[in-house]
Structure 1
Amino acid sequence: MAASFERIGFGYRPRAPYACDPAASRGRLFPEPESPTRTPFQRDRDRIIHSTAFRRLKHKTQVFIAHEGDHYRTRLTHTIEVAQIARAIARALRADEDLAEAIALVHDFGHTPFGHTGEETLDALMKPWGGFDHNAQSLRIVTGLERRYAEFDGLNLTWETLEGLVKHNGPLVDAEGRTLKGAVPGTILSFNARFDLELDKYASVEAQAAAIADDIAYDAHDIDDGLRAGLLSLDMLEAVSLPAGILAAVRARYPGLDAVRTGHELMRRQITVMVEDAIATAQANIEALAPQGVAAIHDAGRPVVAFSGQMAAAEKELKTFLYANLYRHPDVMAVREGADQIVHDLFTRYFARPADMPEGHGHEPELAGEAARARYVADFIAGMTDTYAIKEHRRLFDRTPELG
């Protein structure tokens, strides 16, 4: 297949000049022979899917603890949904779908057990040693902690996938190296010194597609899970402009439709309207910028894949509603308190007594130093699933909080 074309349906169409071309990839930290059957970005996607970290997403919390019900989303199901939306946006923009999918599939690798609760707890515990950041942890996993290959640690992903992983939410520093979003985690800085990811520039169109797909997915699917859990109701959503308008259209077209199907209609229509808005806005931004190469996207000074002003305001209103009524709901907060205790207890115990870690962990001689030991313990806990963290707590402590 010619490097400048991609397969669409039963034919081929030209790849956009601003799209990442796998034939022109900046390569890998450790050079490898090219595959005769897959592009570098397809190989990245496949390595991500076959990794241990990807499988662990199955039992990590999105909003609701995994064992609360089989129908709630986990990090894995959320990730798959993000990947589907990212591909759709990339396809419409004539970008590289495989790269967009790879970035979407890897974007949550660094999340801890128990969702944002686990991250916040680990960050507080790790403050003396640089803190904890899930994005930096994702980079640690794919550049070191995954140990599957004989010749290198990590997955040895391409520059473009790593850049998208680190910068999908925008540059981390300005042109003078001043931080834009707080201190840049040491993991990112140290890796960047070895393999420059251009932290002061915007990421590719494909990475931007993955980033906005993440927002679209959880805005819709967290509503779905909230309705299923009984913490949200359709009546409550009538006070929020984006879902309210969609609900009015659904009820006008299907009077008397039951609440469950109405909720599903709301979810799918909301995803559609947000995706279509993002595509139309991106196309307008690209037309105005007229980029003739990937470098023009990197140097644009703003994201090109974005919501319109009206949709951005509606999405912000929806997020505010979800934080107040779902993420901070008393029932969710009660579970978060127990999850916080589990992560806190495990870190404190492992740090004080590394030998109490499961067999195969905690006996390395370099763990005598506090900084190395703390990071080792944080890596171990961050890699846990919800179920394994609960199991470990029960092994080590007389009482474990009930989370469901």
Structure 2
Amino acid sequence: MERAGFASDPGRARGRLVPEEESSFRTCFQRDRDRIIHASAFRRLKHKTQVFVEHEGDNYRTRLTHSIEVAQVARTIAGALRLNPELTEAVALAHDLGHTPFGHTGEDALHALMKPYGGFDHNAQAIRIVTKLERHYAGFDGCNLTWECLEGIAKHNGPVLGELPWALAEFNEHFDLELHTHASAEAQVAALSDDIAYNNHDLLDGLRAGLFSDDDIGQLPIVGDCYAEVDRKYLGLEAYRRRHEALRRVFGVMVADVIDTSADLLAGSGARTVEDIRNIGYPVIRFSDDLWAQLKEIRAFLFTRMYRAPSVMTVRDEVSKVVEDLFPIYLHDPKQMPARWHDDIEAAESETALARIVSDYIAGMTDRFALQDHARLNGG
């Protein structure tokens, strides 16, 4: 399929921080995607929380399965809009690399601990991972991704304005990502695909956990219509299949809405190049206003019945304590960290620099490793 003029063109990419010879059989965006898949941080996502702590059940989403679902949705939308699928997929796969153990709960705890040292932000941490903390290549730290991929990771949710997270500001001094502009359409697709994936799979995981019932979510906009359509088409369908048939239709409604709305926005924008997309002043990948209003109702339901459910909150309190206990132990005795961190520790010239190394280490932990390490260091 011929790409749109405003699609990101690997032949016109802005390059990498460390220049490299191009591959004869992969585009630069394909190499970005492949490097992300082979990153240690990407593998660790399989044992990091999405909503439920990883050990609570084998069928709940983890950050890894979530990222794969986001990438699948993103490729579909990118193809329909004639964008570059490899760049879209690379940003989608990388968007959660910076998450701590225990998901947003772990991030909140680590941010509070890091406030005296500049705070913690998982989007900025993803940039730190792919530019510094992955250390597999002889010629550079990180993955040496293209400017376009780094831009997408940094600002897929929109321009980054005001005071920058320190990890992002540090890198941006060396490789200006033009944080005041919007990202490419491909990165914007990755962001909306994230919304689509979690709006759908959090409903399914909440049902599996028994936090609410099919009848409960059947009262929600979009969802109720999808259940009704399944009931009309498959009278008496077994409950488990009924649920999956309905929720995959919810997925389809969201994807179709983004494609239709964004196609109209792109056509009406007059954008002819990717630079036009960056500087147009508003996002060109969006839900329609009607669907967005309906999704807000779904999100409000999930917030009350799932994210703040008593059983979930109990676990949140427990895992917050794990992060809160680990941080001061490593800050006051950093040699407790593995040997490969010791060179960085010895090079740290201030408490702030040391705290940021400790933050990097804790943020990289999986749920199970954090729990095991906490038990080890606290005599459990």
Q: CA deviation at 1:269?
A: 0.6
**Equivalent residues of 2:97, 2:129 under 8 A apart:** yes
Q: CA deviation at 1:317?
A: 1.1
- The one of 72, 84, 94 equivalent to 1:106 is 94
Query: What amino acid is aligned across from residue 257 of structure 1 in structure 2?
Result: L
Which residue is 1:5 aligned to? Answer: none
Distance 2:114 2:98 in 1: 15
Task: Report matched runs for 1:247-286 at 5 Å.
Answer: 247-286=227-266
Matched, 1:28 2:16: yes
Query: What amino acid is aligned across from residue 135 of structure 2 in structure 1?
Result: R
Matched, 1:151 2:139: yes
Distance 1:106 1:203 in 2: 15
Which residue is 1:387 aligned to? Answer: 368
- The one of 29, 38, 44 equivalent to 1:41 is 29
Query: What amino acid is aligned across from residue 76 of structure 1 in structure 2?
Result: L
1:53-75 Cα distance to aligned partner (Å, 9 max, x none): 11000100101111111111110
**Equivalent residues of 1:112, 1:134 under 8 A apart:** yes
Which residue is 1:87 aligned to? Answer: 75
1:186-230 Cα distance to aligned partner (Å, 9 max, x none): 221221121111111111110011000000000000111111111
Structure 1: 5+ residue runs without aligned partners?
A: 1-12, 174-178, 400-404
Query: Secondary structure of the equivalent of 2:206?
Result: helix
Distance 1:163 1:360 in 2: 29
Q: Structure 1 residues 124, 190: closer, same or farther in 2, change over 3 A?
A: same
Query: Secondary structure of the equivalent of 2:173?
Result: helix
Query: Secondary structure of the equivalent of 1:346?
Result: helix
Structure 2: 5+ residue runs without aligned partners?
A: none
Query: What amino acid is aligned across from residue 305 of structure 1 in structure 2?
Result: I
More helix per residue = 2
Matched, 1:124 2:112: yes
Matched, 1:210 2:198: no
**Equivalent residues of 2:106, 2:320 under 8 A apart:** yes
**Equivalent residues of 1:356, 1:362 under 8 A apart:** no
Task: Report matched runs for 1:4-403 at 5 Å.
Answer: 13-173=1-161, 179=162, 183-362=163-342, 364-367=345-348, 369-399=350-380
Distance 1:318 1:302 in 2: 25
- Larger CA deviation: 185-194 vs 68-77: 185-194
1:89-118 Cα distance to aligned partner (Å, 9 max, x none): 000000000000000000000000001110
1:148-190 Cα distance to aligned partner (Å, 9 max, x none): 11111000000100000001000012xxxxx2xxx32022122
Residue identity over aligned pairs, in percent, reads 55
- Larger CA deviation: 74-83 vs 242-251: 242-251
Q: CA deviation at 1:359?
A: 4.1
- Larger CA deviation: 271-280 vs 240-249: 240-249
TM-score (ref. length: structure 2): 0.97
CA RMSD after TM alignment: 1.2
**Equivalent residues of 1:285, 1:304 under 8 A apart:** yes
Distance 2:327 2:243 in 1: 40
Distance 2:195 2:49 in 1: 17
Query: Secondary structure of the equivalent of 1:14?
Result: coil
Q: CA deviation at 1:362?
A: 4.8
Q: Structure 1 residues 336, 85: closer, same or farther in 2, change over 3 A?
A: same
Distance 1:41 1:114 in 2: 30
1:332-364 Cα distance to aligned partner (Å, 9 max, x none): 111111100001101111112212334444563
Q: Structure 1 residues 225, 49: closer, same or farther in 2, change over 3 A?
A: same
Distance 1:191 1:355 in 2: 27
Distance 2:176 2:57 in 1: 43
Which residue is 1:3 aligned to? Answer: none
